[in-house]
Amino acid sequence: MKIAPRLVAWQRKHGRHGLPWQNTRDPYRVWLSEIMLQQTQVAAVLDYYQRFLSKFPTVKALAQAPADQVMAQWAGLGYYARARNLHACAKQVMGTWQGKFPPDAAGLATLPGIGPSTAAAIAAFCYGERAAILDGNVKRVLARLFAIEGDPTSRPIELQLWSQARDLVPSARTCAQDPDAMSAYTQGLMDLGATVCTRSRPQCQVCPFKKDCLAFQQGRCDELPWPRARKVLPERSTAMLIAHQAGHILLMQRPTTGIWGGLWSLPECDYELEPTMACQQLGLAAKKTEALAEFLHVFTHYRLNIRPHLVHVEQSDRTRAEKADLLPKGGEWVSIKTLHERGLPAPVRKLLDGLIAAQVLA
Ligand code: SF4
C-alpha cells in the first residue's frame, strides 16, 4: 500500500495548519512542541507552549535558566521527567553542539528525552529528512490500515509497526521534487490520527484511505489496535501537611529524581501518623490541626491516596524555625502571594488553590 502522495494532498487540504508550532523550521520551537505533545493533548499544550516560549525564547535562554524556573513553567503538564530532560537537552545543545540542534534524526536521538519518533518528527519538519515517526496515534493508524493484531506496545508488534512506518515515507524522488513533502506527510499522519482515525468512533467515511484500510474493509475498526494489557495499579497512601501561618505555607522541594522530581510540594508523613507528631518531626508546634477530605491522584504506575491535614502554626514557631534553621532540608516558608512562581504538582496546586479560593488560606 502506498499512502504518501494521498496523505500529503489530504494534509494540505484538510489537515491542521494554524497551530503555533507549525509554519516554522526552527528546531527549538518544533522540539519544544514535540516534547510537550508527548502524552498530552493539543488543547492542554497551547497555553503552556506560548508561556514557555515567552519565558525562554531561545535554547540558550532555556539552558541558562535555573531548574526551578523551568519546573515552574512546566508545573501542571505532568510527566515531569520531560521537563528535566528538556533542560538537560538545552544544556547539551549549548555545550556539545555549539547552540545548534544536531542536523539529522540520528544526532537528535542522542539528546536527553528525544526518542527515535520525536527525533524523526523534528528532522522531518525542520530538515525535510525522510525519517519515519511512530507515536501512539501513528501506531493506531497503521494497526488499522494493515490490520495488525497484538499489543502495539509490545516489542514484536512495535518492530512490525516501525517497519511499516519506514516503508510508507515519501520516496526520495518525491522529496527532491517537493521539499515540503516530508513535513506535510509527517503532519498528515499526526492529523489523521488526531482528527479522523481517532481512538473511538473513527471517521472512516471521510478518511482518504477507506478503500485500502484492512480494518475498515473487515469491519474491525473498533477492535484494532488491540488494547494494551491492563495492569491493576497498586495503591499507596500518604498524608500531606498544609502548615500555614500569616500568609505563608511550608513547602518542601522534592529530590530531582522520582515522582514530582524538583517540584515544590507539601511536607508528607506516614498516612497513619498523628499530624501533631508529624509536626514535631518537622520542628513545628502546631496550634491546631484539621483533617481535610481525602482524594486520589492517579499516576501511570500507581494510585496515590492523599490525606491532607491543615496545620495552624504559631508565628513565633515559624520565625523560630526560620531563624534557627530548624527546617528540614529543602523546606521553605513561601508567601501565598508568590505560590504561582513555584512549580507545584497539579494535585497540590489544585488543593491549595481551592483552600485559597475558600479563604481558608489567606
Ligand atoms: Fe482509520 Fe477508518 Fe481511515 Fe481505516 S478507514 S485508517 S480505521 S479512519
Look-up: residue for cell 512506518?
165
Average pLDDT, the chain: 92
Each residue's pLDDT tens digit, 43-60: 999 999 999 999 999 999
Q: Amino acid letter at 339?
A: L
Atom 2 (ligand 1) nearest CA: 204
Closest ligand 1 atom, CA of 204?
2
Closest ligand 1 atom, CA of 203?
8
Q: Is 10 in the pocket of ligand 1 (CB under 6 A)?
A: no
DSSP symbols for 73-128: HHTTS--THHHHHHHHHHHHHHHHSTTS--SSHHHHTTSTT--HHHHHHHHHHHH-
Q: What is the pTM of this model?
A: 0.79
User: How much is the pLDDT for 326?
Assistant: 58
Q: Is 216 in the pocket of ligand 1 (CB under 6 A)?
A: yes
What confidence category does residue 287 fall into, taking pLDDT thresholds of 50, 70 and 90? confident
Q: Amino acid letter at 174?
A: T
Q: If you average pLDDT over residues 64-89, what whole number do you get?
A: 92
| Domains of the chain and CATH, by start | 4-217 (1.10.340.30), 235-357 (3.90.79.10)
User: What's the CA-to-centroid distance between 145 and ligand 1, angstroms?
Assistant: 7
User: How much is the pLDDT for 316?
Assistant: 64
User: How much is the pLDDT for 60?
Assistant: 98
User: What's the CA-to-centroid distance between 179 and ligand 1, angstroms?
Assistant: 27
Catalytic residue numbers, as ranges? 34
Each residue's pLDDT tens digit, 227-257: 887 788 999 999 999 999 888 999 999 988 8
Closest ligand 1 atom, CA of 210?
5
Atom 4 (ligand 1) nearest CA: 213
Q: Amino acid letter at 162?
A: W
Which contiguous run of DSSP H or E holds residue 249?
A: strand 248-253
The answer to whether the Cα torsion of 112, 118, 120, 124 is positive or negative is negative
Q: State the virtual CA torsion across 115, 346, 70, 269 in degrees, nearest 10.
A: -100
Q: If you average pLDDT over residues 216-220, what whole number do you get?
A: 96
Atom 7 (ligand 1) nearest CA: 221
Is the confidence at residue 318, as pLDDT, over 70? no
C-alpha cell at 203: 471517521
User: What's the CA-to-centroid distance between 213 and ligand 1, angstroms?
Assistant: 6
What confidence category does residue 322 fall into, taking pLDDT thresholds of 50, 70 and 90? low
Q: If you average pLDDT over residues 9-27, what whole number do you get?
A: 96
Q: Is 207 in the pocket of ligand 1 (CB under 6 A)?
A: yes
